[in-house]
Amino acid sequence: MFDVKKVELEWGGKTLTLETGRIARQADGAVLATYGETVVLCAVTAAKSVREGQDFFPLTVHYQEKFSSAGRIPGGFFKRERGATEKETLTSRLIDRPVRPLFPEGFYNEINVIAQVMSYDGETEPDIVAMIAASAALTISGVPFMGPISGCRVGFIDGEYVLNPKQETALQEGRLDLVVAATHDAVMMVESEAKELTEEEMLGAVMFAHDENKKVIDAIIKLAEQAAKEPWQIDMSDDQSAMKEELRGIVGDDIAAAYKLTDKSARSDALNAARAKAKEHYAEADGQTQMTAGKLVKKLEAEIVRGAILKDGQRIDGRKLDQVRPIESMAGFLPRTHGSALFTRGETQAICTTTLGTKESEQMIDGLDGLSYQNFMLHYNFPPYSVGEVGRFGAPGRREVGHGKLAWRALHPVLPDHEEFPYTIRILSDITESNGSSSMATVCGGCLAMMDAGVPIQRPVSGIAMGLILEGEDFAVLSDILGDEDHLGDMDFKVAGSEAGITSLQMDIKIAGITREIMEKALEQAKAGRAHILGEMTKALGTARTELSAHAPRIETMQIDKAKIRDVIGTGGKVIREIVAETGAKVDIDDEGVIKISSSDLDQIEAAKKWIEGIVEEAEVGKIYTGKVVNIVDFGAFVNFMGGKDGLVHVSEMKNERVEKPTDVVSEGQEVKVKVLEIDNRGKVRLSMRVVDQETGEELEDTRPPREKREGGRGGDRRGPRGDRGGRGGGRDRDRGPRRDRDDNGGGDKGGDPDHMPAFLKED
């Protein structure tokens, strides 16, 4: 029934298996990729014809993680997979970016690539497996795909490159999380986060990945030799050279003149005029001819710009190849935010803000590894007005998610340790102008906004976008590319980092790949550009502010004994809720006894801190405390002190003279100063007010003897825990205490609350 074809490869200590012929047989190409116990199914389908009037390549990549693959049920109200998560969106882009340039120019058939995670072992990252499965499915499908490619992850642990570590391990135990996609001959795509690697270390990691990718590419070719479908016959022989030369004569000079204008708006108007002129020339032609003419005008634009750069070193705006546009930075741009910055580089501008929050502001993520929490977020917005256009304004698209994550990776490595700075940090980047690399403007503006908010980052970070023009053996690397240089060039190469090294590298190629020589040149030129931008940023703010914004919450951390956690929380959370309600501060406690108290009011933090200290601290005999009367009984008053301790001030310890009733001295809610006299073996506390100055809190000399002489032998008047009593021969006169008005035989009326009675009062 099944005609199964399979190849296996030992790769990075695990077996990689690629299988086809059993699953999804109606797709043009389907591959089940297994690596470890992670399994990804990728199916490719392609439209057999092009929609009328279509002049672009509609490739769509969908990556989906099924919770069943990890033995989990999705959280939330809807118990099924729904819209793409951020990780799924980023992985879809990760696959799309190296695959898209490997289709021939002019191929416009719609293609769907759907990769689904079917099994996840908790160790082998499914994104790499999905990329390999997608490449294999495209290779055997018969569509004109000039692959295959392969992808792998590289870590840098203890000075050694490690193949396919778990993403979490790569940065917890090492200094690099790098994903590289490549063909057999050249690198196609790079995505990374690094802890300030040198250019040499980063380049070495890319080359290590390329060598490992070649092994998988050979395996995909072996599978294709067994199972590939007949290749599509695509007629790409239409000779358009005559029409191109005709258009060169019509609008060539106009295009060349337009690209000499340094102002983006003026240049755009001039180019639109040239395009309209070409369109008018072919107004009487059929629709296909008009569409072809439009494409050829774009090719003319590319040829003119690329030729000027390669031959004369002449860029669109007149800059040198390694020159960065003018930069102006401003910190503290917005008055009520916790931190803000305005970063402008040429015609690219970003308003970045930093908001500091508490633990409850963390981002909860429900993924294959279970629930996790993110305390650093960066969100990027690209409204249409930033490029002078009208368009959709709403939820972020794939591009915005990708650009935001790139900036996140650039800044994440220099954040302070969370124990040192226990805040949730959110950076918001709103692009207000764009003409080249708004993601790198986000890195620079986001860094300044964090420093303005008082986030003690390790070092400032800047970012720069590099471009490439490649014709045969000739190439030129461009620093700080414009939007048009990005569109008409061959590479988008973004590098971010501090003075100590690279924190993020992203590369996308529009051609069949680049060589080590080109990458080395781009990294070297980018390093100089980053240093220049850092210098310009320093003019606005060189280091993080030492004080947080007055509008930001303050967080204090304290450590308590784990055995005391239940005391602070209380039954059903009663105690901790009372602390929050009474003080106004937010209190978070973890399983290790780390307590974080937060509020924008320092007095609230201090009040909550003292309350908690009172709960966990042990009372000390002989020490004076301030407390509050919480209950009055016939024989004295119970006083709450140290936040969570109760003790009894017996009526005989309220004043040095005789007190008839406790209410003559104290009232409920009254603040009093007490000295701890005794703590019995059951934790019952006996307090005294009479030996403490109630105004100053100073200890007074105890002028009353421990036991006053009694009249009539063993009878007489004795003060103490049992009040006044006569000799054994007479009746007992108990005005105070638990056995008030009782005769010698033990009859009488019991007063007070025996549950709150200290041990010394219960003895008889």
Residue whose token pair is 């007010």: 689
Q: Which residue has the higher pLDDT, 278 or 225?
A: 225
Compute how many other C-beta atoms are within 10 angstroms of the C-beta atom of residue 582. 12
Cα dihedral sign, 510-514-517-519: positive
The fold of the 554-616 domain, in CATH, is Ribosomal Protein S8; Chain: A, domain 1 (3.30.1370)
Beta bridge partners of 38: 35
Q: Where are the domains of the chain?
A: 5-227, 241-312, 327-538, 554-616
Mean pLDDT of the chain: 87
Render pLDDT for 511-550 as a digit per residue (tens, 0 to 9): 766 778 888 999 999 999 999 999 999 999 989 999 998 8
Q: Does domain 327-538 have CATH number 3.30.230.70?
A: yes
Residue 723 has pLDDT above 70, yes or no: no
DSSP state letter for 457? -
Q: For residues 561 and 616, what is the distance between their CA atoms, to the nearest angstrom?
A: 8
SS3 category, 377? strand
Q: Which of 239, 246, 237 is nearest to 297 (CA)?
A: 246
Residue 376 has pLDDT above 70, yes or no: yes
C-alpha of 159 from chain center:
26
DSSP state letter for 692? B
Do residues 684 and 754 touch, judged by C-beta distance below 8 A? no
3-state SS, 322-353, equals CCCCCEEEEECCCCCCCEEEEEEECCEEEEEE
Do residues 267 and 254 touch, judged by C-beta distance below 8 A? no
Q: For residues 440 and 463, what is the distance between their CA atoms, to the nearest angstrom?
A: 5
Q: For the range 364-368, what are the long-range contacts, defined as Cβ-Cβ under 8 Å and sequence gap of 24 or more?
A: 365/85, 366/74, 366/75, 366/76, 367/65, 367/85, 367/87, 368/65, 368/67, 368/69, 368/70, 368/72, 368/117, 368/120, 368/122, 368/126
Q: Does domain 5-227 have CATH number 3.30.230.70?
A: yes
Residue 722 has pLDDT above 70, yes or no: no
Render pLDDT for 631-647 as a digit per residue (tens, 0 to 9): 999 999 999 887 667 89
User: Which tokens sit at 714?
Assistant: 């063993």
Give percent above pLDDT 70 in the chain. 91
Render pLDDT for 430-461 as a digit per residue (tens, 0 to 9): 999 999 899 999 999 999 999 999 999 999 99
Render pLDDT for 306-361 as a digit per residue (tens, 0 to 9): 888 888 888 888 889 999 999 999 999 999 999 999 999 999 999 999 999 988 89
CATH architecture for the domain at 241-312: Orthogonal Bundle (1.10)
SS3 category, 228? coil
Q: For residue 746, what pLDDT band results from cuts at 50, 70 and 90?
A: very low
- Residue 71, Cβ density class (10 Å: 0-12 exposed, 13-18 middle, ≥19 buried): exposed
Residue 490 has pLDDT above 70, yes or no: yes
Render pLDDT for 96-145 as a digit per residue (tens, 0 to 9): 999 999 999 889 999 999 999 999 999 999 999 999 999 999 999 999 99
Fold: same for 5-227 and 554-616: no
User: Which tokens sit at 227?
Assistant: 């199972």
DSSP for 483-518, written as a single string: HHHHHHSSEEEEEEEETTEEEEEEEEESSS-B-HHH
Residue 199 has pLDDT above 50, yes or no: yes
Q: For residue 728, what pLDDT band results from cuts at 50, 70 and 90?
A: very low
Render pLDDT for 563-575 as a digit per residue (tens, 0 to 9): 889 889 988 898 8
Helix axes 287-312, 241-258, angle to 10 degrees: 60
Render pLDDT for 48-72 as a digit per residue (tens, 0 to 9): 998 887 888 999 999 999 999 999 9
